Structure 1
Amino acid sequence: MEDEARCFLRRFVEEVQIGPDDPLPVSPLSRARVSQDELPGESLELGLRLLSARDAPQALSSLLCQAALSELLKSDLSPFRCTQENESGEEEEHGVLLSSESIQRFFLNKVKEVAVAWQRDLPAFPAGASQPPSYAVHAIRNVRRKMEDKHVAVAEFNQLFGFQDGVDRRYYAVFDGHGGVDAATYAATHLHVALSKQETLHSDVATAFKAAFSHVDEMFRGKAKRERLRSGSTGVAAFLQDQCLSVAWLGDSQAMLVRRGRAVTLMEPHKPEREDEKQRIEDLGGCVTFMGCWRVNGTYAVSRAIGDFDQKPYVSGDADCATVQLSGDEDYVLLACDGFFDMVKPAEVPQLVLEALREPGDLDGAAAPKATSADAVAQKLVQHARAAGSSDNITVMVVFLRSPEQLAQDIAKKAPAEAAQASDSQSKSGKE
């Protein structure tokens, strides 16, 4: 790990130039202005994207970005403030706004400064930093005109946010945008950052998750107003903290757990036709009507989401959360948007995964590289949903709680026993 890190740092420092007249090597999410509340999330996203494009080791990327952000937030940011206000007093309403390109150039130079310093004196990597993340994701636009799904995996949660208490933490999420991709992009950028800042994260993940969702929804309200955005996004996020799994969600994106090859229900999606959701909306003075599908006030087909401010509070920004204590016999957690779950029943998933692990390989056509067993699982699930008739964007993320290799070995051991049992049953049937 250390040799790989030193090699990358040397190459990165030599190749990357971020002078005042150089174009930024990656584009900021906010092209004009960014609020101080948005700065950590957008900076981390930008830095990770830059380092990933240059094949940096993932643990090193997280540590570099965390160190650079820490230096950025210690700095005097007043030179980057936007002084021009619009007629409605925008700066007062949304807090201090900063020039996005200028401050992100400043941040990327902080990344390079840290890289230069670490070339000379590489810090010790935390225990477990070299362990590869065990997840697979596959996403397709399908027949839709635009791709409005976003996903994020932060297997190096501790390194990215500076936790050093020895507790293992990992975060995974899928967001399904509608009316544009802005809300999904925003949630994918900021939700894990907001979660990391919650004081209750150590003791009560459910409370922390709900507060983080609400905070990001309110943050997006400010961006949507100043940039005249109208999109919304459902979302589902999973947080692993030692042997505890917490799943939080808004809308109809879903997560499921598979234990010993059997599907375990973790949640119920928020849909307008759900009796308690329908009652909540009607108590607020809204209505749920059928227009090809059940819709809130004749508009959105989900009853909870980030954004959709024209239909708040009927479309609620309040997330739900479920927590499960893991016992060690769990196989994986699957997160996916409704483009998958509208066509695939949870009970079908374990068998599809078994088939993919038995026959890993090229699932995307002859021109695609051969898939690993982990990749094959996500691809198999997406292709099955598409073949079943899904025309929506489809994103599937599989977070393995046991390695795909171990699962495949278990399947291989079970197969002969299952075959022998079937043969024995047939033999007995013949004798009868």
Structure 2
Amino acid sequence: MAHMLRGSFLSQALVLLLLILLLRYVVASWRVGLTPYEYLQIANRKNSEDGTTAVVMLTQGDEIFVAHAGDSRAVLVHRSGKVSVLTSDHKPNRPDERRRIQELGGSVVFWGVWRVEGILAVSRAIGDRMLKPFVVAEPEVKKFTRTESDHYVVIASDGVWDTISNDDAAQLALKHDDPQVAAQHIMEEAYARGSLDNISVMVVDLRAEKNECSTKDA
């Protein structure tokens, strides 16, 4: 989830902030944009160029709320093995993201992959002050309705999705009744397939009789 230098600082510090914003969305029933002002004040004092992506999920009764910024992803796994992707990666070549960046006077350049200003491979992130205003921290917030067919939600950083497809992640998770074991298996498989990026995995058990989640970081 984190990129550039000392990304773990942001990964830890901003989880609570995103959760607060998501709760505000639920309570007030209107979209809340994440502004980077407070973080940038700290970053300026520390001369920090850190950046991180994030996914936050909240379940409330029969509803699931998901907020994300960047290319960390949340995937809903049904008991049948069917997959529903709950987030859409914020990549610079996504048509709406490219248009937003270009309207602000920025550029999207292909350098191995599509990059903002030829530098960053995500179009939304928390931090990355040197690429403001093109890289924004405003999350996309979506609401879904839970069903009896829901089994797991796999939430992971791009270190997983670079090497494991959504369908593969679902099949790996469904091999295990314990979400902790499922998260461990996905993390190990990403390593085995040659992932070179940081790996964070969370598996949330949505079965009616369960209310568990497990996180693995590498």
Output the TM-score relative to the length of structure 2. 0.87
Q: Does 1:385 align with 2:190?
A: yes
Find the partner of 2:165 among 320, 345, 352.
Answer: 345
Q: Which moved more, 1:178-187 or 1:382-391?
A: 178-187
Find the partner of 2:104 among 284, 306, 309.
Answer: 284
Match of 1:179 in 2: 5
Kindly name which structure, 1 or 2, has the bigger radius of gyration based on alpha carbons.
Answer: 1
Tell me which amino acid in the other structure corresponds to 2:54.
G
The gaps in structure 2 that reach 5 residues or longer are 211-218
Match of 2:53 in 1: 234
CA contact (8 A) 1:177 1:184 kept: no
What SS is found at the alignment partner of 1:386? Answer: helix
Q: How much does 1:192 deviate?
A: 2.3
Write the distance in 2 (CA, Å) between the matches of 1:281 and 1:267: 20
Relative to its length, the structure with more helix (as a share) is: 1
CA contact (8 A) 2:51 2:126 kept: yes
Residues 163-220 of structure 1 show CA distances to partners (whole Å, capped at 9, x for unaligned) of xxxxxxxxxxxx4343322222221243324444x3x53252x62xx33x32xx2210
How does 1:46-57 map onto structure 2 within 5 Å?
A: none
CA contact (8 A) 2:69 2:124 kept: yes
Write the distance in 2 (CA, Å) between the matches of 1:354 and 1:246: 23
Residues 27-73 of structure 1 show CA distances to partners (whole Å, capped at 9, x for unaligned) of xxxxxxxxxxxxxxxxxxxxxxxxxxxxxxxxxxxxxxxxxxxxxxx
Change (3 A) 1:351 1:194: closer
Output the TM-score relative to the length of structure 1. 0.46
The gaps in structure 1 that reach 5 residues or longer are 1-174, 358-372, 406-432
Change (3 A) 1:201 1:356: closer
Write the distance in 2 (CA, Å) between the matches of 1:285 and 1:235: 26
CA contact (8 A) 2:53 2:125 kept: yes
How does 1:249-264 map onto structure 2 within 5 Å?
A: 249-260=68-79, 261-264=81-84
What SS is found at the alignment partner of 1:276? Answer: helix
Write the distance in 2 (CA, Å) between the matches of 1:404 and 1:263: 21
Write the distance in 2 (CA, Å) between the matches of 1:319 and 1:193: 13
Tell me which amino acid in the other structure corresponds to 2:187.
V
Q: Does 1:297 align with 2:102?
A: no
Q: How much does 1:278 deviate?
A: 1.3
Find the partner of 2:91 among 247, 250, 271.
Answer: 271
Relative to its length, the structure with more strand (as a share) is: 2
Change (3 A) 1:203 1:193: closer
Find the partner of 1:243 among 32, 47, 62.
Answer: 62
Root-mean-square deviation (CA, aligned residues, Å) is 2.0
Identity of aligned residues (%): 35
Write the distance in 1 (CA, Å) between the matches of 2:20 and 2:65: 16
Match of 2:216 in 1: none
